[in-house]
Amino acid sequence: MASLNIIGYLLYNLNKIIPTLIIAYIFKYYLSWYTRENPIPGPIPLPLIGNLHQIGKDLGKEAIKLQKKYGDIFEVMLGPSRVIFISRAELMEKICSPALKNNVFAYRSLPNAGLDEMGLSKSGISFNMDLEGWKFNRRVLSHTIMSPIFLRENINFVNQIFDELENYWINLLKFEKKIDFTKWSSYVVTDIILTSITGKKSYSTTIYHNSLSNSIETEVPDNIINESLKFIDSIYMFLTSFLFFYIIPPFIRHNFPFIKSIHKKYEDNVEWLDTEFEKVIKKRKQEIENSPVDQPLEHNILNLLITINTERDINKISGIDYMRPMNDVEIRDTIKEIFSAGADTTRNSLCFIIYYILKYPEVKDKLIKEYESIYGDLTKKPNITNESLDKLVYTEAVISEVARLKPAVPVFLRATSLDTEIGGYKIKKGTQIFTNYIGVHMHEDHWNEPEKFNPDRFLNDNIVKNSLLNFGGGIRICPGRHWAIKNLKILLIRLLTKFDMTLVDPDSPLKSEFKSVEHCNELEIYVKERE
């Protein structure tokens, strides 16, 4: 009876109790924020959401605004979680340390329920919290996509895809001189990445050509079209869903009606994508088992991952800790990461590079002269080799300068595994760090006229250490960086030696927005064959 009376009292006075609880919560929230240890400059947060309203949709741009107001190291609250932004090269020293033992920044993220649900925290390399598993996966990945034998084979993959693109453009130029390069780059890069991974095309470039063509269409079976489009959509949904899983707390994702439905869609997509990759792996393993042991296999990533440290591997990884083959989950999550991360960053980087090259015709002319000096007569198809790509010094300078001004990933994550100190501030173990790449890339103390597009700055040796972070740094540096740069070089050679491209509107700014990575939304260009 007493308990019923208490319940009745609470219900009757609910309109008084709830405001009191809210006031108490807000008081406690701000008391803990104002009395926190080792405070770092930053904006005052709001209860529940913290500074999410200030960070907004475009994380890179908002980070620059806060850097200008609060300095090269500042802190914000993302919901209930404290995040420290680092925006200066000298402050990146520990973050970019190559040492694995006692590395303060061995992890990208703190334990996160969203990463667990995406399957990213226990496998692969990007967010793997198991350091032993991460070391093995990274060693294997470096052994494959950084190997000369793969990089040489990859040139053939990229050339094959571009040969198709070349034919499609020549066909379409009979009817239309203007194209949106963002769409073409998306489909071409998808084909390149998928072919490099599995040895089989997605036919995405062909499908897009057929949707535009006014004349001859390339035949592709309907079932392949449907499967290809669904797979591509799934990959990009997986990448887009990252921030949703990472930032929004599980309670909100699982219980709020509208957000719950989005969560279900993303969750189903993760499961579907895993199943599809597992089917691909199972089928390829069977194909390899049915092939004679002495029969050479194509050097695509999937074949290399399946056969590494097996009887088919002629170049086994050294070190007793790494002498086992990869299991199916490790293979699945590795190729899923390569595709989801590699395709989007490469596609957008290519768009940004084309924009700046066409914006500054003198840069385009210098690139063409470099290709003439390496490959000779450009009326013929260039004989691209791994060795010739390494000679393209100015091309690499252009890629670096565009990445400095427009990094595909403007802000990225690290987390402290030990107590440390940065910029005179003591930072405790278990603190989330956001490395503000764009803030470092545009810092006046690191770069002369940082707003100016000037590839020549990379032709000297006066680059400040840790001032260019387009591939990250330290033990978590991107293992596919050489592959990505070589792909960009090949595409630039083929594009600039075959076609004459100009911007439709040279005065229009670059149209992009942040969606887990920096996305180029539109890039309209005129195209014609070079004479």
State whether the Cα torsion 267-230-237-120 is positive or negative.
positive
C-alpha–C-alpha distance, residues 486 and 382, integer Å: 15
C-alpha–C-alpha distance, residues 70 and 119, integer Å: 36
Rounded-to-5 percentages of helix, strand, coil across the chain: 55, 10, 35
C-alpha–C-alpha distance, residues 528 and 531, integer Å: 9
C-alpha–C-alpha distance, residues 388 and 391, integer Å: 5
C-alpha–C-alpha distance, residues 356 and 51, integer Å: 34
Give ∠ CA 389-390-395 in degrees, rounded to 5: 70
Q: Which amino acid is at 480?
A: G
Tokens 């009606």 correspond to: 257
478 is in an annotated binding site: yes
C-alpha–C-alpha distance, residues 45 and 429, integer Å: 22
Beta bridge partners of 73: 86
Beta bridge partners of 432: 83, 415
Give ∠ CA 471-476-481 in degrees, rounded to 5: 35
Numbered residues of the known binding site for heme:
478
Annotated binding site: 478
